[in-house]
Amino acid sequence: MALIYIIIFIILISSTYLGMHYYVYTRIVSGLLLSAPVTNYLRFFFLIAALSFVLSEFLSRHVISSWIKPFAHFGTLWLGVISISISVFLIADILRVFFNSQQFRYYSTIYSISAITLLTIFSIYNVSRGIRIKEIKLKTEKLPKNLSKFSIVQLSDLHLDFLKNRKWFNDVVEKTNALNPDIIVITGDLIDTNLCNIDDHCELLTKLKSKYGVYAITGNHEYYTGLETFLDICKNSNINVLRNEKVTIANCIELAGVNDEEGKRFSGGGPDLNLALKNCDFKKPVILLAHRPTMFKDAVKSGVDLQLSGHTHAGQIPPVDLLVTLIYKYSYGFHKKNSSYIYTTFGTGTWGPPMRLFSRSEIVKIIIEK
């Protein structure tokens, strides 16, 4: 069953990925009325560019070598360019319904390529601005009398691999520790490869410090990379992994964590909210860590006070930002339903292209107070 799922998944993703390239390629060729020799060169470039991301994803997970980095960087950036190109050319083609002429098609192609270039440059710049600190305050009467507030720092979707350099990750660690949290939580997609093979990332991971420890849950990428690899890294880094279970923090907070839904197709099983909340004292604030923001409805019914999620990245760039908004009700930001809250973070890192158009990478500090 798992093999059939993987085959279908690969076919669908490959078809979509190649279809995106074909659309952009034909749009440029037809819009600019390119000659046959130029068209052939462009076709060859698109083929190489399309393969660059696929090969870099494969090689980066199996080969740790400096010569792969430039190739991998190009592949990830190209994915971002082709994604933005789809959005821009679709808008241009919609306008063609009202201005249907070869002249409009030609100039709209020129303007579209210019817009794609500018949006790409800004999206790269936006990530280079660094990670922002987002602070959220949440009031509750459930804290004990001797405790006025409790702080949680949320990291999510770091997607650590050999393209995330030591300087960037060290900045994440230093900014997190500077917030002096009571606990640090990592809401999935911590790794995209075995960290211990690259740039002392495992050593940096051990430097995350908080008063009551560091806690993590699985995201879908932990299963892609290897669950045992993830568990070993966490064990060696003093990170406590919550797998459909809960812990009581300082006798004042109930912290529960569920497996990601991808776990259904791998050993270890998928999410089990009832098991995770078993024996919870709901007189205390109950915090749920769930990688995807899809469980909030059930969390509200179960009496969870706050759910912390990630996964969506707020889409990073068009048209994915629109797609995640359509797919997920709580795709990003802070929301309330009845007496329960959910915060879906934009993510601390990026996946694929190091690009963001309408969002910023963030570290989230949640202050629970009376």
pLDDT, position 9: 79
Q: pLDDT of 196-228, one tens digit each?
A: 776 577 889 999 999 999 999 999 999 989 999
pLDDT at 65 over 70: no
pLDDT, tens digit, 9 for 90 and up, residues 163-191: 888 899 999 999 999 999 999 999 999 99
What's the whole-number average pLDDT of the chain? 93
How much is the average pLDDT of 36-60? 90
Q: What is the pLDDT of residue 118?
A: 98
199: left (phi over 0), alpha (psi -120 to 50) or beta: left
222 Cβ neighbours under 8 A, 6+ residues apart: 188, 189, 190, 191, 230, 260
What average pLDDT score do residues 65-74 get? 81
pLDDT at 311: 98
Give the per-residue pLDDT at 25: 97
pLDDT at 63 (0 to 100): 66
Q: What gap in Å lies between CA 234 and CA 237, rounded to an integer?
A: 5
Q: Among the listed ranges 22-26, 42-46, 51-55, which one has the minimum average pLDDT value?
A: 51-55
Task: Please check the confidence at residue 84 and state whether its pLDDT lies above 90.
Answer: yes
Domains of the chain with bracketed CATH: 2-128 (no CATH), 132-369 (3.60.21.10)
Q: What spatial distance separates the first Cα and last Cα of the chain, rounded to whole Å?
A: 50
Q: What is the pLDDT of residue 194?
A: 84
pLDDT classification of 146: cutoffs 50, 70, 90: confident
Residues 314-356: pLDDT tens digits? 999 999 999 999 999 999 999 999 999 999 999 999 999 999 9
**What whole-number distance in Å separates Cα of residue 221 and Cα of residue 60?**
14
Q: Average pLDDT for residues 219-240, to the nearest whole number?
A: 94
- Sequence-distant (6+) residues with CB within 8 A of 244 are 257, 258, 259, 269, 271, 272, 275, 276
Q: Is the pLDDT of residue 50 over 90?
A: yes
- Say if residue 26's pLDDT is above 90: yes
Mean pLDDT throughout 259-286?
93
The answer to whether 316 touches 346, Cβ cutoff 8 Å, is no
Q: Which residue has the tokens 């629109």?
A: 322
What percentage of the chain reaches a pLDDT higher than 90?
Answer: 81
1 has a pLDDT exceeding 60 = no
